[in-house]
Amino acid sequence: MTNVTTGEDRAAELRNRLTDELIAAGHISSAAVEAAFRAVPRHLFAPGVPIEAAYARDIVVVKRDEHGALMSTISAPEIQALQLEQAGIRPGMRVLEIGSGGCNAALIAELTGPDGHVTTMDIDPDVADRARACLDAAGYPQVRVALGDAEDGLADGAPYDRILVTVGAWDIPPSWTRQLAEDGRIVVPLRTKGLTMSLALEREGDHLISRSQQICGFVKMQGAGAHDGHRWPLVDHKVSLAFDDGNLDDPRKLDGVLTTAPAAAWSGVTARRGELLAGLLLWLMTTLPGFCTLIVDASDGDPGLAVEPGGRWFPFATVDGDSFAYLSVRPTGEDVVELGAHGYGPHAKRTAEAIAEQIRVWDRDHRNGPGPTYTIWPIGTPDEALPAGAVIDKRHTRVTVSWPHAAQPARE
C-alpha cells in the first residue's frame, strides 16, 4: 500500500509540475484545459515507460514500423495543449478524435464531461487495442474506440461538434466536412509544401476558414489519405529535395548541381539564435514557387553544404530551373544571426537572392503581423472564386493562404 501511495503521489507531483510548466510557457491558457491536464494520469497511457518520461515534454513512442520509423506516438504535451485550446471543447459536446493513443482522448473526455460523447479512432488495430486497454485502466470506459481509415471519418456518431485530427494530414477529405456539425470546428495538422500547421477550421458557406494556426509536427497519416510527394536525390541519397505539393518540371537540370561553387546572399535582417521563425517559413512557402524541403542524411558525416563560420543551414529550399538555394544564417553578434541563403548551380546567386529578398519583405510587412489565413475550398472551385493569395491544389481541396496588408503573391 505504501508503494502504491508513493507512486500515485509521485505521478500527481509530476503531473502538476508539467501543467505548471505548460501554463508558464503559454501553451495552456484556459482553466478547462488546465484542469484536464491535472486530472489525466498520463503515465497510465505509457505502460513500460519510466514515470518521469511519461510526464516529460516530449513524445512517447507507441509503435514503429519495421524500419524504425514512427507510426504512432502520444503527442508531446505542448502539442496536445495547443490543439485542445484551439478546439475550445465545452461540456456536453460530441467529439471525434482521428489518430488514437488514448491519452488525448482522456483529456477530451475531461473537457466534455459526463454528458459529452468522445470517440477516438485509428487505422491500426494494435494502436486501437492499446488505447482501449489504457483508457479502461485510467478510468475512462465511456470513451469509444473505433477502428477505421481517417479518409472516411466515422459516420456512426456524426454530426460532431469537434473533430480533432492528431496525425499529420495532407488534405481534408469530404467526409470530415460532412460529419461536422453546422457550427462545428475541425482542428487538424495540415501539411502544405512540407510545413505542418495545426489549423482550427470553421465552416463558412461552402468552405472552411482558419481561426488560428500554429506550426507543429506529427506522424504522417496512413491509409487512403497517405501522401509521400516526390523526392529527388542530389548526391546519392545523402542530400535530396522533397516536394510535398507540386514537383520539378525537369529534375535532370539539377544533375551535379552540388559540384558547382556556392554563392551566398544576405538580407540584412537579424534574429535571435533559437527564435521561432514560423511566419517567415510560411511567407517563403507562399512566395517562392519552387519552395521545397532539403533532406540531408549526415549519418556518414557532414555532406559539406556551404555555411558561414559559426552559421548553419535550414531544411527549407527553393528551386529555380537548374539551380537551388536554402535558408541559412550567419552570426553577427552574441546570440544574434543574420538571415540569408546559400545557392548552387549556374544561377546560384540569383536563387539565393530570391530568398534574401523575401526575407526582407517578410521583415518589413509581416514580421509582427497576424500571419496568414488558410481557406479550404472544394477541389472544383474555379480560380475566380478564390481569394487573393497562394493556391495549393490537393486531391480533394484547393488550399488558399492569404496574407493581410500587403501585395499578394502570384498564384502558381
- Segment 69-103, tens digit of pLDDT: 655 678 899 999 999 999 999 999 999 999 998 99
Which region holds residue 139: left if phi is over 0, alpha if psi is between -120 and 50, else beta?
left
pTM: 0.92
Looking at residue 12, the DSSP 8-state letter turns out to be H
| Percentage of residues in the chain having pLDDT higher than 70 | 94
Q: With a cut of 80, say whether residue 35 has pLDDT above it.
A: yes
Alpha helix (H) ranges present in 50-204?
51-54, 77-87, 103-112, 125-138, 174-178
Contacts of 220 (CB under 8 A, 6+ apart): 167, 168, 170, 191, 226, 227
Are 341 and 352 spatial neighbours (Cβ–Cβ below 8 Å)? yes
Residue 276 binned pLDDT confidence (cut-offs 50, 70, 90):
confident
Q: How do residues 211-269 score in pLDDT, each as one tens digit?
A: 999 999 888 899 999 998 999 999 877 899 999 998 998 999 999 999 999 999 999 99
Whole-number pLDDT of residue 407: 46
Q: Helix (H, G, I), strand (E, B), or coil: what is residue 348?
A: helix
Strand ranges (DSSP E) for 128-179? 144-147, 160-165
Whole-number pLDDT of residue 8: 86
Pairwise CA distance, residues 80 & 96, whole Å: 15
Active site residues: 75
Pairwise CA distance, residues 149 & 223, whole Å: 6
Q: Look over the chain and give the mean of its residue pLDDT values, rounded to a whole number.
A: 92
Residue 129 binned pLDDT confidence (cut-offs 50, 70, 90):
very high
Q: With a cut of 80, say whether residue 64 has pLDDT above it.
A: no
Q: With a cut of 50, say whether residue 133 has pLDDT above it.
A: yes
C-alpha cell at position 153: 471519418
